[in-house]
A = this chain, B = another copy of it.
């Protein structure tokens, strides 16, 4: 297997109400080249959650060993529990030719990009701030206080859009999914991803001009 056949690593982040989850599910169901990363966590499993599907469940000690051994692409602590992305799982999928998608937040995205600069960073957004508000309100499950908090968070997050590679507006779920798909598929043809092929044809042309 050459570099060219290796999967692309993509991180998808986005504002509340950007439809990240729906886009991920559509990508997975419409195309067979994608795999979603499974996170590790130190929190206890909830009813119905499956080991290796919902999460890889670890004790706090096991998780801290994984951090110490550099086995995580990124991690964070959130209300007393660790959450992170196991490197082995992601790399095994990519080596098998799968385009792996991580749905994580900005801090995690920046940790991964720093270590693996070829990672594709995509940020999803509703078409306007009003629309973010409408979508949060429309869920009918959040209190006004929670909505206000999430709007404030979106405002903070907007400062980091510049560190992403792509900004995709979700004005229509089908168009948005197609855009994300085309962006990831195009990444298979960057000069960096095709450097193995470039070296090969360079060698071939050299040989050609020496012998013939």
Which one of B128, B164, B205 contacts A204 once the chains associate, using CB atoms below 8 Å?
A: B128
Given contacts A165-B190, A185-B182, contact A158 B128 (CB under 8 A): no
* Interface members, chain A 3-47 (any B CB < 8 Å): none
A177: min CB distance to chain B, Å? 13
A8: min CB distance to chain B, Å? 13
For A206, what are the chain B residues with a Cβ–Cβ distance below 8 Å? Answer: 155
A203–B161 alpha-carbon span in the complex (Å): 13
The complex is assembled from copies of this chain, and their number is 2
Which one of B152, B161, B212 contacts A198 once the chains associate, using CB atoms below 8 Å?
A: B161
Are B166 and A209 in touch, CB under 8 angstroms? no
A129 contacts the other chain (CB 8 A): yes
A203–B40 alpha-carbon span in the complex (Å): 36
A100: min CB distance to chain B, Å? 19
Question: What does DSSP make chain A's interface, helix, strand, loop or mixed?
Answer: helix
* Interface members, chain A 78-132 (any B CB < 8 Å): 123, 125, 128-130, 132
Are B129 and A201 in touch, CB under 8 angstroms? yes
A71 contacts the other chain (CB 8 A): no
A164–B183 alpha-carbon span in the complex (Å): 17
Are B191 and A169 in touch, CB under 8 angstroms? no
A183–B208 alpha-carbon span in the complex (Å): 31
- The 0/1 profile, CB within 8 Å of B marked 1, for residues 182-212 of chain A is 1101100111001101100110111111001
Are B201 and A158 in touch, CB under 8 angstroms? yes
For A67, what are the chain B residues with a Cβ–Cβ distance below 8 Å? Answer: none
A179 contacts the other chain (CB 8 A): yes
Given contacts A198-B158, A198-B161, contact A189 B205 (CB under 8 A): no
* Interface members, chain A 139-189 (any B CB < 8 Å): 148, 151-152, 154-155, 158-159, 161-162, 164-169, 179, 182-183, 185-186, 189
Question: 11 interchain pairs (CB within 8 A)?
Answer: A128-B201, A155-B205, A155-B206, A166-B191, A167-B194, A167-B197, A169-B197, A179-B189, A182-B182, A182-B185, A182-B186
